[in-house]
Structure formats: structure tokens, C-alpha cells
Chains A and B, each alone.
Chain A
Amino acid sequence: MAIYEKLEAKPAPQGTKGIVHWVKENLFPSVLSSILTIISFYILYITIPPLLDWMIFDATWSGTKEEITKDGARWIFIFEKFNQFIYGFYPEELYWRPNLALVIFVAYIIAFKRVNVKLKAFIIISFPIITYTLVAGGFGLEHVETEKWGGLLLTIIVASVGIVASFPIGILFALGRQSNMPIIKTISVLYIEFIRGVPLITLLFMSSVILPLFFPEGMDFDKLLRALIGITLFQAAYIAEVIRGGLQAIPKGQYEAADAMGLSYWQSMGLIILPQALKISIPNLVGSFISLFKDTTLILIIGLFDILAMVTLTNSDTNWLGFETEGYVFVTMIYWVICFSMSKYAKSIEDKFNTDHK
């Protein structure tokens, strides 16, 4: 009978764990890869330190224009013009009104998930009215013309109106494109393909130059409304395509089951198909909203003063000339933060829906 002795477990072979191993495996596995790693570090070395110096360490954070001694960013320009970047020419004593609208918006978003359908409908209907009254005036509030709206305020207004107004139109065109009525289908296809085939800027030109010609004299559209019409028509076509993608992904059995239940077209769409189609389109819808948010910058070409236009405008102040770089960097950061967080949000929803085994 053999006698077995218990052996102690050997330690793991050298170099299969720990930082050294990770570095070897991920940074220097082969000659080519090592060269790439070194190049990457070099790129970081020549970009990051000067950028940090410019933005933070060498930057001027306080004081007046005459006291600037450092080479870095002169953020005092942004502090000085901050209100213009955010509100444009909006009267200073009325800043509380857009601010209040923002607070209500946040409150509504928080409340939205926790209330029943009737309150949800109330929120959706009342919010635009309240916001419009607060920003533009009316019901006893002092009137503020749209020419005075500007900066980030205008950007957000254009983007939200574009999103909200284009959504129902987009759904209609998506359903129209999927319809089996040939004329409705043709109209939808022509509209969608026409809009998607031309640049937004030509549509904006059209709505700002040609649109007034289409209506009898005396019917005056203000500049902002014309831009909003152009942007809504544009966005509706893109939304329609996104939703069509969702509609096509719904199994045919769902359509057939809804028909078999004896539901009418609008019942089956509203209760069975659209809820599912919209749900799977959410990531792409958010993607489309990000594009729209970025595209709102184009309104500066037809003479509206969004936040990007404020860079040029604030630099035309004779006391503050030559601060474009700071202005552009500031606006870039605002856009980047908003777009990046929206895209991360879209990604998180996508991951939640994605139940693939990968």
C-alpha cells in the first residue's frame, strides 16, 4: 500500500499576474505593439501637459484684463461675458424667468416617472405653455421679443422645440412609409428622401428666404419661428427613419395578432406596435437628438444668436478683442458635456435592452 504525501500548492509561475504581467501583456507584447505604445505615450506627452498648462496652471482665473500676466487661458473673459453666453440679450432683471422654467423642467422630469397617466398628460401639455409664458411673457409678465433670446437659452429652446414638434410628425411619416396605401406611402417616401438628401443649411435658407413668399402678405413669421419650422421639418424625416427601423424590427406575428383581436389600425398601432417599436428605437432616437442638438449651431448662419454665435459677438466688444480661443473652448466644453452624457445614456439603455449572449 502506497503512502501518499500531501504536497503544498506551488505558487503561480512568475509573470502571469500582477502589474508587470499586465504591462507586458497589454503594452509590450511584441515589437510592433511596443513601438505603438511608445508613440501613444509620446502623443500624450506632447498634448496633455501643454493643454493642462494652458487651461489650468497658466490660466488667469481672476482679476481684471489689465492684470493678465500669464500665457494661459484668460478665463476672466468667460466670467465677464458669462451672462451673454447663457442668455444672449435677454433683459438682466428677467433672468429669473428662464431659470424658473429650468427648475420646473427638472421638477417635472423627476415627477414624471412617479405619477399616473392623467398627470403625465397634464405635464406634457402644460410644460410647453408654462415655459413659453415664462420665457416670452404674457399673462401679466413683461413681453420679451424673440430677437433678445440668445446664447445657451436659445440653443436649448431650438433643440427642445425641434425634438418635441418633430416627434409626432416623424411618427406619422414612419407609419405612412409602412402603410399599404400606395399614395400615402409615396408621399411619405418622397418627403423623407427629399429632406434627407439635402443639407440642413439649404432647408434653413429655404425657410428663412422662401417661406415668407408662400403666405399672404401680412402673415409675418419672425426669424426664430422660421428657423424652428426648418429644423422641425428636417428632424421629422430623420425621426421617421429611426422609428421605421423600430417598426420593421417588430415580428409580423404582432401585427397579425393585433388584427386578429379585431383592433382598428390606430388601436393596434397605438396599443401594440408603437409601444414596442418606440422602446427599441430609444437608443437611436437619442442618437438623433444628439445630432439635432449639434445641428442647432447652424442657426447662426441665418442670423440667430445661439451660444456659438456669442463667441464672435462677445469678441466684437472693443474692450475684449482677441478672446476667440477662450470662447470657442468654453462653448466646446458645454457641447461636449451635454452630447457625451446623452450618448452615454443611449448606450446604457442599449445595454439594458441587449440580452444577447456575448
Chain B
Amino acid sequence: MKTHKKARQKEVAFYNNPENRAIIYQVLALAGIFIFTYFILNNMFENIEKRGINTGFDFLSSEAGFGILQSLVAYDESDSHGKVFLVGLLNTILVSVIGIIFATIIGLLVGIGRLSKNFMVSKLSMIYVETFRNIPILLQILFWYNVVLASLPSPRQSISFFDSIFFNNRGLYIPRPILESGFTAVIIAFIIAIASVIYLKKWATKRHDETGEDFPLFWVSIGILIAAPTLVFLLSGMPATLEIATLKGFNFKGGWTLIPELLALAFALSIYTATYIAEAVRAGIEAVPKGQKEAAAALGLKDSTILKKVVLPQALRVIIPPVINQYLNLVKNSSLATAIGYPELVTVFSGTSLNQVGQAIEIILMTMAVYLTLSIIISILMNYLNSRMQIKER
């Protein structure tokens, strides 16, 4: 019997041995990929030559020759395609930052609103989430741009707030602060205020640990942060003025202008992403077991302390990863700007520059690389946060 078994084991063919198989499969997979890559690269070079398309990254230094609607750095038509790339990238970052800030604020409010005991508030929050989450983001962008913003009055009939902010179909005009030399003092005062708040927090925690006495840290901190810079600002003779936009001819001049493309994109992105953030916030808070709150209440903690010391630390661990994922989605969705012509990376670089230069491969790969880099940076950050937020178990 024994010999029989041994004999059968020897019969296992080379290709039936799982270890050998694993190696064979992997070699085959690699070979397949190499052959495929070789095939497409070969064709690619052949096609590029036949069509007379340039290769390499020389185009980045050649003159672009087109204007851009909005630029955070000085740009004119004689600048290079490399500069176009930079302008587009900065515009992507600008709209992403605006979107992230507003999406977070709206998302937090709505997410907490959904858990409110107030019937109206929770139902309204639910309607908000269900409405905007189920409409494609591109449709929302086009709607804001083509319907809402296009129906605003012309510059002469602008909607104005306090005679300093103007809103019309050419955009939103807000006053621009002009800083004079003395303003550095205000900035220094602000930095000192931050430092003292950090010190104050340490002191208050220590005192609380030793004596159990509470210190109204939050309100005092806010007070310091606002009062110190304001005081210095007033004492140093108000070294800043506001430049208000004024109607000259057919349009407004001066101040800061937010073009309608930026407004439509920022509105749509914040409103859409906020629905997902709201759901993440709700799920996070709901994930904290009821017993935790009850136990904290049984210890005699105040509602605000329960929220700050018991619920939030546990909820945040659940909330942060999906929210960061949504930030990433927002950055990627900002590329839809190309449908309304907001001059961000995809519009000006993968759009206009590509049409002029024709080097699709280099340009699209560069664009993808930008988003990939952003994704990788954000996911490294997320992993770091995650590992810090993990419960330390023994």
C-alpha cells in the first residue's frame, strides 16, 4: 500500500506541481505583457513617423500663442506651453481647494443634520443628499453654467451687496485688499497669537489634569486669535485698503473677479461632493456604539465633553478615510471643467495645447502623471493618518 502511494506521488507531472505552475503562469503573464507592449510601441513609433508627429518634450518651451481666461501667475500669449501647463495646474489646484473647503463645510452640516432629532432638519438633509447625489456631476456643472449663471443680469444691472460685491453674468466681483508696508506687523501679531494659543492649551490641559478645573479654552483662543491682529491693525494706522470693483464702460474693473466658469465648477463640485461627505459623516457618527455615549453620560460628562472626548475621536477614525477619498474624487472631477471651458489642466493643456502641438502621447501622459502624483500623495497622507488614528491595542 505504502509503495503504491509513493509511486503515485512521483507520478505528479512537472506542470501539475503548484509551485512550478505558479512560476509558469507568472513567466507567461510577463511574456504576454512584454509582447503586447512591444507590439503597441512598435506600431506607435511607426504611426508617429508616418503622420509626421514630433516626439519629445521640446514643445514645452515653444510659444503657446493663445490667451487664457484666468491665470494665477502672469501669463500672456507669447509664453511657452510649459507655462500653460503651470497655469492649468494652478487653476486645477485653485478650484479644488475652493471645492474642498465648501464641500467639507456643507457636508459636515448636512451629515450632522441627518442625525438631528429635529424632524424637519433631518428630512431636509436627506432630501438634499438624495437629490444631488443621484444627478451626474457633469449635468450639474452644465446646469449651473448654462442655466443659472447665464440668467444673471448684465453688468449694468448687477446684483450688489453693500455696494462692494457685485454679481452678474460676467462673474462675481469682490473687493481686493491692498496691503501696505505696515501690514507685516499684523501678520507677526497673528503668528504670536497662534503660538500663545498653543501654549495656553498646554497650560489648560496640565491644570485640568492636576486640579480638575476647566478652562474655557475654545472661546479664549478665538478671542486671542481675532483680537491680537485686529488691535495691531488698528494701532498701526490700518495699513491696508480695499480696492472695490467699479463699473467702467460695459464691465467692472478692479477688485478680484471670479469668472462664471470658476463659480459654476466650484458650486457643482462642492454641492455634489458634499453629499458623499455628509454620508461619510453620518456613517461615522452612527458607527460609535450607543453604549459609549450612555457610559459617558453615566460618568456625568457634559454633552459637549461627550461629543469632544468620546464620540468624535471614535467617529473620526471612520470618517476620515472616505472623506479623503472624496477629496481625491473632487480633484479628479475638476477635470470636467473642460465641458464649460474653465482653464484648468485638462482644458488648456490636454485641450488647447494638444490641438496646437498634436503630441497627444506626451501631453496626455503628463496630465495623467499629475493626477497620479496627487493621488499617491493623498493616499500616503491617508495611510499616515490612518495609522495614527488606529486604536492602540495591547
Contacts and interface: CB of A to CB of B under 8 A. Distances in A.
Interface of A: 26-27, 29, 33, 36-37, 40-41, 43-44, 180-184, 187, 193-194, 196-202, 205-206, 209-210, 212-217, 290, 294-295, 297-298, 300-301, 308, 311, 324-325, 328, 331-332, 335-336, 339-340, 343
Given A197-B375, A295-B136, A336-B131, A181 B25 contact: yes
Contacts of A339: 133-135
Interface in B80-106: none
Given A201-B338, A298-B336, A339-B134, A40 B120 contact: yes
B139 A26 contact: no
A73 B46 CA distance: 55
B282 to A, nearest CB: 14
A154 B356 CA distance: 31
A200 B361 CA distance: 16
Contact of B29 (A183, A202, A205, A311): A183
Given A184-B25, A210-B361, A328-B142, A202 B350 contact: yes
Contacts of B135: 294, 332, 335-336, 339
B136 A215 contact: no
A-B complex: 4 closest residue pairs judged by Cβ atoms: A197-B375, A339-B134, A40-B120, A294-B136
Contacts of B138: 297-298, 300, 308
A47 B359 CA distance: 49
A29 B117 contact: yes
Interface stretch (B164-172, B364-372, B386-394): B364-372
A183 B26 contact: yes
Contacts of B29: 183-184, 187
B146 A324 contact: yes
Interface in B17-55: 22, 25-26, 29-30, 33, 40, 43-44, 46-48, 50
A290 B130 CA distance: 13
Nearest to B369: A198
Nearest to A265: B18
Contacts, number: 146
B44 A27 contact: no
B131 to A, nearest CB: 7
A213 B47 contact: yes
B40 A336 contact: no
A319 B49 CA distance: 47
B143 interface: yes
B146 A328 contact: yes
B56 to A, nearest CB: 16
Contacts of A206: 364, 368
Contacts of A332: 135, 139, 143
Given A36-B118, A40-B124, A41-B120, 15 more contacts: A181-B25, A184-B26, A198-B332, A199-B332, A199-B335, A199-B371, A202-B371, A205-B364, A214-B44, A294-B137, A295-B136, A325-B147, A335-B134, A343-B133, A343-B134
A131 to B, nearest CB: 24
Given A40-B121, A184-B25, A328 B368 contact: no
